[in-house]
């Protein structure tokens, strides 16, 4: 091939095919060489400055001392600094939950940060966003909705904070052993009638008779309940023990609530304590949760 090289002056290798196709040995273009040298120089500088090569016992750390974890921690510290402005106020014992509610910026921060706390500590029982967990059958008790304006123990920010700190255990004695089935039925009918704005004469008499029902002692003369006892308001359409109605009322009256020592079928309705007597969350955390529950819908 090389004997009849048609381009004797070119920097070629002497390889030709089909007369016109030839292999040259020119230097690569300038831009390519600059790129090539820049990239290996970059590699060496990078390897010196940053963690790069695995070694038997770990890796080369680089002269800058940079690590991913370090960068992450720096970011966290920056976030903490932004947060501490709010956190310091919330954790200050002189700042009450009511004061947090009254301060727009502080309240908004608190609600956002409490959302995660609620998911961690509360939603297993009270459902996402406090939507409650309905009982699946008459004998189950379910968990109350927190996102409405119906409260067993009161919906002021202070009452909600007390509920979360100390827990709650409303007690209703079982009537199964004390009253006849007919009397219990009359009472259940009365309770259902109350929730529909009416009443049931025989049931009402038992409700008001101390030696029989004596229900008024806890539920009040007007049957509207007392927040100090957590005795449900019987005159509204909201049932603590869903689905409500006759069967459910009969079950509650017969077996009572949290009276398992007197009746093993008694309803179980205990709100656990999250303060020093229970899970021992910090006061600031409990304030956050109280503010969050308070704004869910029905804070008073
Ligand atoms: C183990 C289940 C459980 C967990 C966890 C739980 N609760 Fe409760 N909570 C209950 C029950 C049951 C009641 C109702 C008690 C009753 O019927 O007397 C209740 C009642 C309440 C009430 C009172 C509602 C009213 O109508 O007055 C509030 C407020 C409340 N819970 C908030 C919380 C918050 C906030 C958390 C998380 C920190 C939480 N609960 C975690 C079971 C739970
Ligand atoms: C010792 C106080 C006490 C007495 C007496 C009492 N109750 Fe209750 N009752 C409660 C409490 C507390 C609750 C709410 C329980 C809870 O949610 O933890 C309740 C709940 C109920 C409920 C369930 C309401 C709902 O929304 O699901 C019904 C029904 C009821 N009571 C009817 C009666 C009747 C009828 C009598 C009289 C025969 C009576 N109670 C006597 C304390 C009492």
What pLDDT shows up at residue 127?
Answer: 94
Indicate the domain borders of the chain: 2-49, 171-268
Any idea what DSSP says for residue 129? G
pLDDT at 35: 96
How far apart are alpha carbons 147 and 295 in whole angstroms? 8
Q: Ligand 2: which of 185, 186, 205, 218 to mutate, judged by most atoms within 8 Å of the beta carbon?
A: 218
Q: Which residue(s) pair with 257 in the sheet? A: 172, 267
Can you state the percent helix, strand and coil of the chain, rounding each to 5?
45, 10, 45
CATH architecture for segment(s) 171-268: Orthogonal Bundle (1.10)
269 lines ligand 2 (CB under 6 A): yes
pTM of the model: 0.81
Q: What is the pLDDT along the chain (300 residues), one digit of tens a residue?
A: 455 656 666 677 778 888 778 888 888 889 999 999 999 999 999 999 999 889 888 888 888 988 889 999 999 999 889 889 999 999 999 999 999 999 999 999 999 999 999 999 999 999 999 999 888 888 889 999 999 989 999 999 999 999 999 999 999 999 999 999 999 999 999 999 999 999 999 999 999 999 999 999 999 999 999 999 999 999 998 999 978 889 999 999 999 999 999 999 999 999 999 999 999 999 999 999 999 999 997 666
| Residue 22: its H or E element | strand 21-24
Q: So what's the pLDDT on residue 7?
A: 60
Q: Which of 110, 121, 123, 126 to mutate to test the pocket of ligand 1 (most atoms within 8 A of CB)?
A: 126
CA distance 14 to 4: 9
Ligand 1 center to 156 CA (angstroms): 15
Q: At what angle do helices 68-91 and 104-121 cross, to 10 degrees?
A: 110
Decide: 194 in ligand 2 pocket, CB within 6 A: no
- DSSP of 44-72: HHHHHHS---B-SSSB---TT---HHHHH
Q: Is there a contact between 183 and 206 (Cβ–Cβ < 8 Å)? A: yes
């Amino acid at each position: 091939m090389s004997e009849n090289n048609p381009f004797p002056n070119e920097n070629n290798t002497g390889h030709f095919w089909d007369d016109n196709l030839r292999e040259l040995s020119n230097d690569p273009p300038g831009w390519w060489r600059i790129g090539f040298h820049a990239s290996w120089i970059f590699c060496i500088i990078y390897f010196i400055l940053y963690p790069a090569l695995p070694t038997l016992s770990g890796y080369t750390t680089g002269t800058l001392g940079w690590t991913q974890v370090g960068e992450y921690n720096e970011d966290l510290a920056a976030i903490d600094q932004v947060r501490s402005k709010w956190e310091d106020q919330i954790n200050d014992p002189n700042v009450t939950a009511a004061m947090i509610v009254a301060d727009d910026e502080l309240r908004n921060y608190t609600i956002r940060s409490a959302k995660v706390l609620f998911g961690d500590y509360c939603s297993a029982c009270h459902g996402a966003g406090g939507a409650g967990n309905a009982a699946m059958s008459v004998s189950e008790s379910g968990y109350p909705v927190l996102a409405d304006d119906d409260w067993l123990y009161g919906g002021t920010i202070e009452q909600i904070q007390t509920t979360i700190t100390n827990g709650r255990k409303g007690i209703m004695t079982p009537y199964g052993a004390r009253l006849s089935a007919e009397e219990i039925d009359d009472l259940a009918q009365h309770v259902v009638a109350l929730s529909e704005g009416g009443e049931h004469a025989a049931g009402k008499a038992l409700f008001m008779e101390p030696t029989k029902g004596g229900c008024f002692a806890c539920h009040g003369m007007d049957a509207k309940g007392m927040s100090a006892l957590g005795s449900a308001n019987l005159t509204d359409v909201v049932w603590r023990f869903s689905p409500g109605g006759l069967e459910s009322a009969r079950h509650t009256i017969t077996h009572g609530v949290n009276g398992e020592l007197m009746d093993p079928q008694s309803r179980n309705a205990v709100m656990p304590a999250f303060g020093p007597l229970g899970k021992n969350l910090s006061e600031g955390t409990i304030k956050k949760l109280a503010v969050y529950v308070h704004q869910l819908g029905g804070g008073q």
